[in-house]
């Protein structure tokens, strides 16, 4: 289960990096701006929502258990 979370986190960071690259790259003179940055940010948001839903589903099905450590000990 941990590798699924790791892959999703790497995907989120990759989409964020791609959006940053698309933001810094400017289209050639006379061409309309592309929507690549917006698509990359949309992918990041969708992966984040899917990861959150997967965590909730895994908790509901008992695949993962919350562990609370007392702060005073």
pLDDT per position as a tens digit, 11-57 = 999 999 999 998 888 777 878 878 888 999 999 999 999 999 999 99
pLDDT score recorded for residue 32: 80
Domain count along the chain = 1
* Closest C-alpha to 48, from 35, 40, 21: 40
CB burial of residue 51 (10 Å; 0-12, 13-18, 19+): middle
Q: Which domain holds residue 6?
A: 2-26+35-61
66 found inside a domain = no
54 found inside a domain = yes
67 found inside a domain = no
Structure token pair of residue 46: 């969708």
15 found inside a domain = yes
48 found inside a domain = yes
73 found inside a domain = no
As a whole number, mean pLDDT of residues 1-16 equals 91
């Amino acid at each position: 289960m941990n590798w699924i979370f790791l892959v999703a986190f790497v995907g989120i960071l990759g989409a964020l990096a791609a959006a940053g690259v698309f933001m810094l790259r400017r289209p050639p003179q006379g061409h309309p701006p592309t929507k690549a940055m917006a698509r990359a940010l949309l992918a990041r948001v969708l992966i984040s929502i899917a990861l959150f839903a997967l965590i909730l589903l895994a908790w509901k099905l008992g695949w993962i258990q919350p562990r609370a450590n007392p702060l005073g000990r």
